[in-house]
Amino acid sequence: MANTKHAPHGGYSPDMDGRTHEATYSGFIKFAEISTAVVICHVLALAVGGIKHAWLTAIFGVVLSLAAGAVGAMAPSIGVRAPAAVGVLLLLALIFY
């Protein structure tokens, strides 16, 4: 690996756009966080369906988590909180159903 400690421009060559690179990385991290929350919701929905035999609630939870993930991806101020809220609802359904 190249030694970039003494490289000018913060390790980026003049041909590279450092701000665009950092924005792309930030977007990838946000996507990974939201996707992880949606997958956790799907696992919780499978638990609700499998343990409590409430498959309609599980299907509704999957659809709702997908919609919440899309809303979180489109609205940066909401982010991962939308699918996390659905995850809390599914966890409550698993506990109290």
Query: Which pLDDT score is estimated for 21?
Result: 83
Mean pLDDT (whole number) for 28-42: 97
pLDDT band, residue 14 (cuts 50/70/90): low
**18, pLDDT greater than 80:** no
Those residues with Cβ within 8 angstroms of residue 40's Cβ, 6 or more apart along the chain or in another chain: 83, 87
12-41 mean pLDDT: 88
Report CA-CA distances (Å) from 55 to 45, 68, 82.
8, 19, 22
This prediction has a pTM of 0.82
- How far apart (Å, rounded) are the C-alpha atoms in residues 28 and 15? 22
In this structure, what token pair is assigned to residue 40? 């956790």
